[in-house]
Every structure is written in structure tokens, then in C-alpha cells.
Amino acid sequence: MATETLTLGKALNTGLRRALENDPKVVIMGEDVGKLGGVFRITDGLQKDFGDQRVIDTPLAESGIIGTAVGLAIRGFRPVCEIQFDGFVYPAYDQIVSQVAKMHYRSQGKVRIPMVIRIPFGGGIGAVEHHSESPEAYFAHTAGLKVVSCANPQDAYVMIQQAIASDDPIVFLEPKRRYWEKGPVDLDAPIVDAYPLHAARVARPGTDATVLAYGPMVRTALDAATAAAEDGRELEVIDLRTISPLDLTAAYESVRRTGRCVVVHEAPGNLGLGSEIAARITEECFYSLESPVLRVTGFDTPYPAARVEEEYLPDLDRVLDAVDRTFGW
């Protein structure tokens, strides 16, 4: 087994490289993805090794990027589009929800759109306006799209390859503030069977309460579990990994054991993913719950200026406070 310690960003780069090597129909396209290697250097070195016909620097036109990729996908290619920052995806929103999501259904299954839309999302890097957003609910609400988010280097490496190999259009959310966090990556990991793309995983077992998170908040939840353990409280942390379709099987099993649940995400609470997750857990686990399902989220405001973003983002203390409240009912 070839196991290396990589940053999450480098794991994505390695996964993209593997996909380009394995399938000549894979093309990467986006603003500055070629010579520069992307603003976060996720595509660094790929144009040099695979050429500018497969790693394509596009104009600054997100709608044009996605529209072109739709045509490529219809013709049998597997385009991987990079949206430079989460807040830049909105010019392409019409293409994504009107064309990418609906083409397979509209054609009665005759046309597939095997494309991946990579979006660095979330806050925590001190960026300026339009550079720190959490748009996942927009896409998860759209039938025909699949939405996933990696939280560690191993998942980044495997999930990006699985997404590219999928015949369905996938919005691939990358937690930008975790790009530089390191972890072990099994470079020989099987891509198909051992790591299902649309399946949650137990990131840390526990017995007293269940904490559900995805993307950048998984690390925060794990840190909260470590802190709680010092007080004798064992939290089970579940990394959802797939936002649409939601896989809550592990969550249901966990909540039936712990009787308590906290859902954590960076996006605003109003009509966020936490609302849907809390509703489903209440429906499925009602008689096992010792207290209401609580949510720890961003606030219902536009994303604030960088100097106060730490006040906006859910942190360890807010997660622990919610856990404490589940024991106070």
C-alpha cells in the first residue's frame, strides 16, 4: 500500500491527476486552472503534464464555463469545472439548475451529463466579499443534482475520482479553509467498492450524543468531541459526506443509541440543511430522542466582513453549548 501524508488540497490534485491519467475523456476547465494552477493551486502542474487541451484556462464567465461543459458532456467527455470561489457560482446558477440538473430527465434518460462542478466553499480564510459563502442548500434542493463534500485528505482523493467517474452531474464542495490540513492518504484505495460516494461515515464513535456535520465543520465537531471527552462525555461524530442524496442511516442508528443529536453547518440556519436533517431524524427516531434535535449554524445574515467572521462561524464552544442544552431538557 502506498500511503502518504498529504494536505487536502494536494490530495485533490493527486485525485484529479489520477482521473486524467485513467480516462482521456476527462477535461478540466476554469479560470486560471492551467498555467497558474488555480487560486488555491489545486490544479497545479496538470496543464504542464496533460496539455492545454485537457486543462483549459477559460474566460472569466461562469455561465459560459458550465454551458460549454454541458455540450462536452453530451458529446461523451467528462468535464470537471472549477468555480474559483463559492460566491462566483451564481452567474452559472441558471445553467446548473436549468440544463445540468434537468437534461437527463428531459431526454427520458437518453442523455447523461457526467460532469463535476468543483466549488471551494465556506469561510475561515479572511477573504473579501463574495469569497466566503455556503450555497449548498440551493443545489441540494434541485432535483437532478448530486451534492457532496469532502472533509479530509483521504476522502478528497477518493471522492473526486468517484465523482468524475459518475454518470450523474455532481456539485463537489471543497472546504477551502481545510485545504492545508494534512492527513494520511492511501493512494491504492479502491475507488468503487470500499469508499461509497453517497454514504456517511462515523468519524468518531461515542455513546452520549450524536453530532452531525459535513465539509469544514467535521473538524470542528471532532475538536468539540475531544474537548467533551475531557469532561467524561463521549460524542459520536458523523461526517455526512453526501448532502444530496442525504445518507442518514448511520445517523439514525447513532441517535437511537445516544438519544441526542446536534447538527452543525456553516450556512445560515433558516431553511438550511440542518432543518431537513433535524426533521428526518425527528420522524425516524422520535421515540428514541431524549431532547429536541438542535442546530448550530451560521447566522441569518449575509456573510460578514473578514474581521468578524469568527463571530459568525460555528465554533467549538457553540457546538459544546448545544450538546449541553440537549442534556438540560
Which contacts qualify for 7-10: CB closer than 8 Å, 24 or more apart? 7/153, 7/179, 7/180, 7/181, 7/182, 8/150, 8/152, 8/153, 8/156, 8/174, 8/175, 8/178, 8/179, 8/180, 8/181, 8/182, 8/183, 9/40, 9/41, 9/42, 9/156, 9/179, 9/180, 10/153
| C-alpha grid cell, residue 15 | 485525485
- DSSP classification of residue 31: T
CB atoms within 10 A of CB 314: 23
> Is 198 a known active-site residue?
no
Given 104, 131, 198, 265, the catalytic residue: 131
Q: Element (H or E) spanning 320, and its range?
A: helix 316-326
- Residue 24 identity (one-letter amino acid): P
Contacts of 71 (CB under 8 A, 6+ apart): none
The contacts of residue 249 (CB under 8 Å, 6+ apart) are 200
d(C-alpha 164, C-alpha 170), whole Å: 8
Nearest CA to 170 out of 241, 209, 118, 213 is that of 118
Q: What are phi and psi of 62, to 5 degrees?
A: -60, -40
Count the helices and strands in the chain (H runs, E runs). Answer: 12, 14
Residue 152 identity (one-letter amino acid): N
Rounded to whole angstroms, how far apart are CA atoms 155 and 24? Answer: 23
Residues annotated as catalytic are 131
